[in-house]
Amino acid sequence: MPTPKMYVLVRSDLSDTYRLVQGSHALAQFVLDKPEHFALWNNGTIVFLSVRGLKDLRIWLYRLQSAGKVHALFCEPDLDGQMTAIACYDTGEIFTDLKLA
């Protein structure tokens, strides 16, 4: 069985800097929401993946929720509360179609 990693999905329609910051916020939200899983991750491998935009990120949120995946999302107050990134602790098979960010 593959080792779980931290996957961070970020929107490619945001600037490089925004993607980095928003992905970091999603990871921080994961720490707050899922401390027991954060402890299991233990600062191991982290993988940033790219989705096209808000619509695709919403689709991914639905997929993760439907599959029962451990995740946390971040919504940016400076972008009218738009969802900008999702952090997910998983083995990664669900993400095979996504490209590195």
Q: Where are the domains of the chain?
A: 5-100
58-89 per-position pLDDT tens digit: 999 999 999 999 999 999 999 999 999 999 99
Residue pointed to by tokens 């946390």:
72
Instruction: Report the amino acid identity of residue 83.
Output: M
CA distance linking residue 101 with residue 10, whole number of Å: 7
- Predicted local confidence at residue 1, as pLDDT: 80
82-97 per-position pLDDT tens digit: 999 999 999 999 999 9
| CATH architecture, range 5-100 | 3-Layer(aba) Sandwich (3.40)
**Residue 40, SS3 per DSSP:** helix
Q: 3-state SS of the chain: helix, strand, coil percent to 5?
A: 45, 30, 25
